[in-house]
Amino acid sequence: MDIDCVILEEDEQQITCDIGHNELQTHFNMTFVYAKCKDHLRRPLWDRMIFRTAESNKPWCSVGDYNVITSIEEKLGGVPYNMRKSLEFVAVIEAYGLVDLGFNGQKYT
C-alpha cells in the first residue's frame, strides 16, 4: 500500500494519526472526531486539539462529528439552540486559525 498511517493517540472522543504517502516527502496529522453530546464533556477534546496544534509542526486536519454548531443556520427545527454551548468550540477554531472545509450532500441529515 502507498499510504502509511500510524496512530499517535486515541481517547473516547478522537483518534489522531500521522499519515504519509510513500512517494511524498512530508507527512500530516489527521484527527478523527466523535465528540460527546454534552458541552462540558467535550472540554477534554478541545484541550487535546489545542495541545495537538501547539506540539506539531506538521499540517493537521480534523474531521468528524463535533456535536456542536458554529452558526444558528446549522440547525433546523426543534428547541431553539443556545449558542453559549458553542463558545469553547468557536474559541478553538479562532485561536488556531482552523478552517471549515464544508461538505457535499444534504444540508440536514
Query: pLDDT tens-digit profile of 3-55?
Result: 899 999 999 999 999 999 888 878 899 999 999 999 889 999 988 887 776 67
Q: Residue 105: left if φ>0, alpha if ψ -120 to 50, beta else—which one?
A: left
What is the reported pLDDT for 32? 95
Residue 1 binned pLDDT confidence (cut-offs 50, 70, 90): low
What is the reported pLDDT for 109? 60
Question: Cβ(13)–Cβ(33) under 8 Å?
Answer: yes
**Domain limits of the chain?**
3-95
Strands (E), the chain: 3-10, 14-21, 27-34, 60-65
What is the reported pLDDT for 95? 82
Strand partners, 64: 33
